[in-house]
Structure 1
């Protein structure tokens, strides 16, 4: 019962989709949970270059060259500008209060921010610290590099592609296999439609396709047996007709000879006339017996057919009855009849 249930094609397709869909989701979750290890590996391998120190030195030089005051926040902000991967925090070293800073725009991306919000490899990346001596005081500058955040989107895309491949490849191979079975069945049926009943129908599965192949193969065998039986019957009928034709030809030839003698009055006396007449009757009886045997054979071996009503003339039936009554009366039968000719028709 359970085996038959799993032989259904719809159940197999559903099972493939659910199984490998779940496997793909599991692989994606696994890759996502270990994203920090990948980010740390990328940092160690130097896949993403970090020039934090050079970026900080450039800011420091601009602040010094422009003689910026600690309280000139607008000028400091213009120098800091906007960076995709660097965040900068400036503090007044005298009172340890924040002056201003900039935020890496990469982290404003919702996908990147949600992915790395608890990832130490991102937030504990390359940090540069220095003190900058200005005319009115000293600034502490902290520069944070989030260059590794550039790997977030490619890594997520890679994880999604791996998960999709795990789901799609087995599903595609399963469907391709079933399509291949259907193509084989189509080719086999093509041979069958061309009259090749000796070409077997291949059965490659236990599902509905295999069941259909099995049924078509049974149909092929039945047709093959029917055609063989029909051919045997046709040959038997041919042999019968040939034999009957030969058997009928001999008495017919003799009958024609006797009738010609009688018609041309070639007999010598009354006894010879009666002899030829009796021989003719014997030949007619012999032909009649052969015809009866032939009819009996065809009645026994003929297939049943549906009755088909046709239009029949009562006038023709009337003449046929009168003719047979005449034959019976010629053999001393007494017939009581009350028949009138008519031109009506019946269906019979």
Structure 2
């Protein structure tokens, strides 16, 4: 019965189920009816069965006559017995003269006829004792029709039950599918969004199941987005806390220098005041942009500044880094920049990146070995490399890596990348910036409105 379940409507399925049930029941009825009719024909038409059935009726008739003391002339009472035995014809003869027939019990012309009827030896005559004497009784009965009618009623009842059984069995498949969908909906309501809703067939139920599964996928995607957003916010808070800590440390150092008068002259005092102001402005800018960054995804591309040579971009940040490293007892080996390499960056991101690199060097670098800084040019990128020797390698202290993650995130926002290597006691951070070709820059500057 799979052929009708592949259709597209429940109404068609139920209709097909009814038709299929009817066809199967019709075939079953035809086979069973023919088989039973053949069996009844062979059994009822046998001489033994006919003789036994007739003798049984004669015995019943004799009892009826004796109890009621009937004579052959009591036609009404005799006809009444015949009516209690349908499909029966009875004739009564005396001296071969017909004196009663159940086909015309009130017909006086027939009963007054004294003509002798022929005697057929192949017919069975039974002697019945009446109140007015003995008489010969002849019975004709259609037992085949009677038993066939009973068998047909039984067959129809059985086929009706079979029809209902087939139809309910087909409906049970649909009911089981509805129960399965209901169970899966309850699981989805309890928070299980990983297991798909079962989609079977191509009817209204399968359409409903497909819609529920699409809703489940949408809920799961929303949950994943919310989880990613929460994780991104947590990472943002960690990165911002880390980025704020470095300029705050520098600010505290400069204020401590001023508090204890550790400056040589007025010019150096003004220089420290400028640095304090710069760090304070950096902290202010970071705090103002926290909300902005929390609403942006990592894929958001920020607006970059006008392309400039890499030595100009890093001139001030490198100078501050070298000064801070020198104050903390680090030696620096800085290689000069070669040919001008134009890069487009965002100054605020560069300051945050340099603060993170400075913080990592101060925490993990060996002061006995110089910190190396050198540029490296390739066909597509301008690279700036920072390398230091790791202090106390055996301790295995690697920190939380928040600063490194922040550097990678900021480089990605500017279209660049960050490469980290930590081998043989050497820790290297390489910043790769996409190069801006000079010819392309000139073409953009000559365009109308450029």
Is the shorter-chain TM-score for this pair beyond 0.5, marking a shared fold?
yes
Match of 1:17 in 2: 18
Match of 1:202 in 2: 198
Task: Name the CA distance, whole Å, in 1 between partners of 2:144 and 2:22.
Answer: 30
Match of 2:9 in 1: 8
- 1:1-348 equivalent positions in 2, closer than 5 A: 6-25=7-26, 27-28=28-29, 36-43=37-44, 50-53=52-55, 55-56=57-58, 72-73=73-74, 77=78, 83-84=84-85, 87-93=89-95, 96-99=97-100, 101=102, 128-130=124-126, 139-145=135-141, 151-152=147-148, 154-255=150-251, 267=261, 271=266, 274=270, 277-301=273-297
Shift of 1:240: 1.9
- Checking the alignment, whether the CA contact within 8 Å between 2:89 and 2:102 is kept in structure 1 is yes
For residues 221-248 of structure 1, the C-alpha deviation after alignment (integer angstroms, 9 at most, x for no partner) is 3433343333233222211210111111
Secondary structure of the residue aligned to 1:301 is: coil
- Checking the alignment, whether the CA contact within 8 Å between 1:59 and 1:79 is kept in structure 2 is no
Q: Which has the higher strand share?
A: 2
Relative to structure 2, which stretch is displaced further, 8-17 or 37-46?
Answer: 37-46
Query: Residue 128 and residue 282 in structure 1: after superposition, are their counterparts in 2 closer, same or farther (change >3 A)?
Result: same
For residues 312-347 of structure 1, the C-alpha deviation after alignment (integer angstroms, 9 at most, x for no partner) is xxxxxxxxxxxxxxxxxxxxxxxxxxxxxxxxxxxx
Please give the root-mean-square deviation of Cα atoms over the aligned residues, in Å: 4.7
- Checking the alignment, whether the CA contact within 8 Å between 1:89 and 1:143 is kept in structure 2 is yes
Shift of 1:92: 4.9
Query: Residue 213 and residue 60 in structure 1: after superposition, are their counterparts in 2 closer, same or farther (change >3 A)?
Result: closer
TM-score computed with the length of structure 2 as normaliser:
0.47
Shift of 1:155: 1.4
Shift of 1:91: 3.7
Task: Name the CA distance, whole Å, in 2 between partners of 1:173 and 1:4.
Answer: 13
- Checking the alignment, whether the CA contact within 8 Å between 1:197 and 1:220 is kept in structure 2 is yes
Secondary structure of the residue aligned to 2:296 is: helix
| Count of aligned pairs | 273
Relative to structure 2, which stretch is displaced further, 6-15 or 201-210?
Answer: 201-210
Shift of 1:101: 4.2
TM-score computed with the length of structure 1 as normaliser:
0.59
Task: Name the CA distance, whole Å, in 1 between partners of 2:71 and 2:163.
Answer: 61
- For structure 2, list consecutive stretches of 5 or more residues without a partner in the other structure: 105-122, 299-450
For residues 285-337 of structure 1, the C-alpha deviation after alignment (integer angstroms, 9 at most, x for no partner) is 111232354344234339xxxxxxxxxxxxxxxxxxxxxxxxxxxxxxxxxxx
Task: Name the CA distance, whole Å, in 2 between partners of 1:162 and 1:289.
Answer: 89
Task: Name the CA distance, whole Å, in 2 between partners of 1:153 and 1:292.
Answer: 99
Query: Residue 128 and residue 280 in structure 1: after superposition, are their counterparts in 2 closer, same or farther (change >3 A)?
Result: farther
Shift of 1:251: 2.5
Shift of 1:257: 6.5
